[in-house]
Structure 1
Amino acid sequence: MILIDYLYYQIINFYKHFNKDGAEKGYGIVMTLGLPFLNLVFILMILDHFYGTKTLPSNKYFVLVYALPFILLLGLRYWKFTSYEEIKEKVQNLSKTTKMIADILLIIYATISLLGFIFFSLYLGSLKNTF
C-alpha cells in the first residue's frame, strides 16, 4: 500500500467522522488529488525561482493544466479500480506499529507539503510585491 492510498483512507475517515451525507468518496478523491498537485506546483515554483526554467505559465489558471494527469490517473484509480473498502481491508491487516508509522509519515507529509507551499508562496509574494 502506498502513502497516497493511506492518505485517501484517512481523508475519508476524517470526512465520515464529521459529515454523514454520503459524499465522502468525492471529497476523498478531491482532497487526495490536492496535496500531490500542490507538491507539483511547489516544485515548479522552486524551479522557476531558483533555476529560471520558466515552467510556470504567466496565467495562474493555466497551471490547472498540470493537474489533468493527476485528475485522470488518481481520479480513475479511486473512482473505478481501487475502492475505500479494499484499502480499509489492507489497513485493518496492518500491525499497530505499522499503522502508527504510517500515521506519523502522513502527518509529516501533509504538514511539510502545506506549510512549505504556503511559506514559499509568501516569500515569493513578498519579493515581487514590495511597497
Structure 2
Amino acid sequence: MFFLDYLYYQFTNFYYYFEKDGTHKASGIILTCGMLSWNLIFLMIVFDRFYAKNLIPDNKYAMLLYCLPIILLIGLRYWKFTSYEEIREKVKSFSNTTKIIADILLILYVIISLPVFIYIAAYIGNHK
C-alpha cells in the first residue's frame, strides 16, 4: 500500500460521514484525482514561470489534457481494481504509530499542497 491509497482512503472516509447514499467512494476518487491534478498544474506553472520551460499551452483548456492520464489511471484503479474495502482492511492492520505517521504526512501534504498552490497562482497572476 502506498501513500496514494491512504489519501484515497481518508478522502473517502471524510465523505462517508456526509454522504450516506453510497456516493462517498466516487467523491473520494474525484478528490484524489483533483488533488493530484492540481499538483501537476502547480508544477507546470512553477517550471513555466521560474525556469522558462514553456510547458503550459496557450489554451488554458489544453491543460486538462495533461491531467487526463491522472484522472483515467486513478479512476480506473479505484473503481475497478482496488476497492475501498481492501484498503480499509490494510489500514486496520496498521499499528498506531504507523497510522499517526501516515495521518501527519497526509495532513502536511494537503496543507502544503492547496494553500501553496493558491498563493503561487495568485502571485503569478498579479505579476503578469
TM-score (norm 1): 0.95
Deviations 1:17-65 (A, max 9, x none): 1221211111111101111111111110011001111101111111000
Name stretches of at least 5 consecutive residues in structure 1 with no aligned partner. none
How far 1:71 moved relative to its partner? 1.4
Aligned to 2:119: 119
Aligned to 1:77: 77
CA distance in 1: counterparts of 2:90 and 2:63, whole angstroms? 35
Give the 5 Å matches for 1:46-125.
46-125=46-125
How far 1:88 moved relative to its partner? 0.1
CA distance in 1: counterparts of 2:78 and 2:60, whole angstroms? 27
Name stretches of at least 5 consecutive residues in structure 2 with no aligned partner. none
CA distance in 1: counterparts of 2:48 and 2:97, whole angstroms? 40
CA distance in 1: counterparts of 2:108 and 2:89, whole angstroms? 24
SS of residue in 2 equivalent to 1:72 = helix
CA distance in 1: counterparts of 2:47 and 2:25, whole angstroms? 34
Count of matched residue positions in the alignment of Structure 1 and Structure 2: 128
Stretches (4+) displaced over 6 A: none
Q: Which residue type is aligned with residue 76 of structure 1?
A: L
TM-score (norm 2): 0.97
Aligned to 2:18: 18
Which moved further from structure 2: 85-94 or 64-73? 64-73
Aligned to 1:32: 32
For the aligned residues, what is the CA RMSD? 0.8
